[in-house]
Amino acid sequence: MATATTEPVRLPPGSRLPKPVQAIWFLASNHGMFGVLARRYGSVISVNLPGAGHAVVISDPALVKDLFTTSTDLIERPTFGSGTLGDVFGPGSTFSLAGEKLLARRKMVVPLFHGRRLRSYEHIIEEEVMREIATWPEDREFETLPPMTSIALGAILRATFGAEGAALAELRDLVPRMVTLGGLALLVPSRMRRDLGPWSPWGRHLRYRRRFDAIVDSLIADARADPALEERSDVLALLVQARYENGEPISDRHIADELLTLLASGHETTAGSMAWAVERLIRHPQLLSRLTEEVDAGGSELRQATIWEVQRTRPVLDAALRRTKTRVRLGDWVIPEDTNLISSIRLAQESEESFRDAASFNPDRFVGTGPKPVAWIPFGGGVNRCVGAGFANMEMDVALRTLLRELRFAPTDAPDERRRWRGVATVPARGARAVIYRRSAEASSGAHSASVADHGGA
Ligand code: HEM
């Protein structure tokens, strides 16, 4: 782990280009700049970017692990531009908490997305997939990313709120707008975070937030009045009943902040991963047909390995971010206070040292073994590791199972889709375009699936 030090600062090598040039390079290359610099200077590099300032990018798995295990007395979550994510989600959000308070909250929230509980959400995912694919066109190429986003939003909304009917419909409409605006609102300097009318970003953010809070308040009131509250498995019902170790409940306002946090963190990421899964599978027809056979036989091992490999080769979040609270020694480097540390998930997972033939998409590498936590880090690590990792994995598994059971995806020899960074998640640049056919219709008309041998590839 990193340790506090008073040694003279010793920063890793890196780009000396002026900050604006680095910014253009960073954006134009969809973060590919870090890879170019790492190939030139090694697995720890210095960069200088607007918003992040002087930052250190780390892709050496041992140092990434050191960072994840470093005490929160020495490092913390960074600020973005003029604020933190907590400014948008509110003081009761995980993103606003640190130290003991964060640990206490995680003790409450992490078990909500684990083990037996996860199984209680499976039917929601299956219903969301079935609802969405009923409208998909056949025999015509279309973007699968938007419907994946709708599936993921529906899944997280229903699992967290237990909402149905009018409240669910309103949240389905409101939450994507709040999330898009939230990113913009963060760019508003803190002195201008006032209600300057419905057309100003912060003013609009406050209006959306009031609508959101009103819906949550009525759902909390319904939950408290629900005689079957104890049997419910949605996160809202569980948070209403949860107690900190000292016996205190979470306040209603903090419940609303946390629900918004889970919604915002939990849909674009999972949707992006599911879209990448489609993008990868239609370019690997033999794998696609092995997965379909496995689904038909009731298996899941290759599907799980595929989900891990999609996340290794196409992580939707490129990095886990921290910031030094004091001067620290990390490996050979001495990094000053207030420096952003960027653990590059993408570069760490592309490392030949950790993954043989790292550039190839090969789920079989994980069959029977599973990924090693140090090298495979799509959910980050340590005290800030993704709260919803178990939920996301379950969701991708059930979604993929349902898609393969219901649909035949036509293989393609189109070039790989490039990566496009959308402010938070990195998604397939063309929206994971695919052509599908309904297996039930093919079975009844006697049509049969395309020959895998015609398309080659693994
Ligand atoms: C494929 C889907 C997902 C990916 C790849 C992903 C990835 C990540 C990553 C990389 C982090 C930062 C970890 C770190 O800094 O070490 C994170 C944090 C977080 N994620 Fe996820 N996530 C996904 C889905 C979800 C879902 C479904 C939820 C909610 C149910 C969720 C809730 C959160 C929260 C609340 C945090 C903040 C944790 C903290 O800072 O203490 N994520 N996620």
Task: Give the residue, by CA position, lying nearest to ligand 1 atom 15.
Answer: 320
- pLDDT tens digits, one per residue of 194-234: 777 888 888 888 899 999 999 999 999 999 999 999 988 88
Q: How far away, in angstroms, is 164 Cα from ligand 1 center?
A: 25
- pLDDT tens digits, one per residue of 225-277: 999 999 888 889 989 998 888 888 899 999 999 999 999 888 899 999 999 99
Task: Give the residue, by CA position, lying nearest to ligand 1 atom 30.
Answer: 388
Are the C-beta atoms of 428 and 275 separated by less than 8 Å?
yes
Q: Which atom of ligand 1 is nearest to the CA of 345?
A: 10
88 alpha carbon, distance to own chain's centre:
18
426, two tokens: 């990195």
> Which of 156, 238, 265 is the best mutation target for the ligand 1 pocket, counting ligand atoms within 8 Å of the beta carbon and taking the most?
265
With CA atoms as reference, report the closest residue to 389 among 147, 112, 92, 148: 112
Q: How far away, in angstroms, is 160 Cα from ligand 1 center?
A: 15
Residues flanking ligand 1, CB < 6 Å: 77, 94, 113, 156, 261-262, 265-266, 269-270, 273, 316-317, 320, 378-381, 384-388, 391-392
Are the C-beta atoms of 212 and 181 separated by less than 8 Å?
no
- Distance of CA 439 to CAs 131, 135, 147, 320, 445, Å? 16, 15, 19, 40, 10
Instruction: Choose the most confident range, by mean pLDDT, from 120-124, 361-365, 437-441.
Output: 361-365
Q: Which atom of ligand 1 is nearest to the CA of 396?
A: 1
Are the C-beta atoms of 126 and 402 separated by less than 8 Å?
yes
pTM (2 d.p.): 0.92
Q: How far away, in angstroms, is 264 Cα from ligand 1 center?
A: 10
Name the more confident of 101 and 456: 101
Q: How far away, in angstroms, is 138 Cα from ligand 1 center?
A: 34
Residue 344: strand, helix, or coil? strand
* Cβ neighbour number for residue 154 with a 10 Å cutoff: 21
If you average pLDDT over residues 423-431, what whole number do you get? 90
Task: Give the residue, by CA position, lying nearest to ligand 1 atom 27.
Answer: 266
Q: What are phi and psi of 388, to 5 degrees?
A: -100, 20
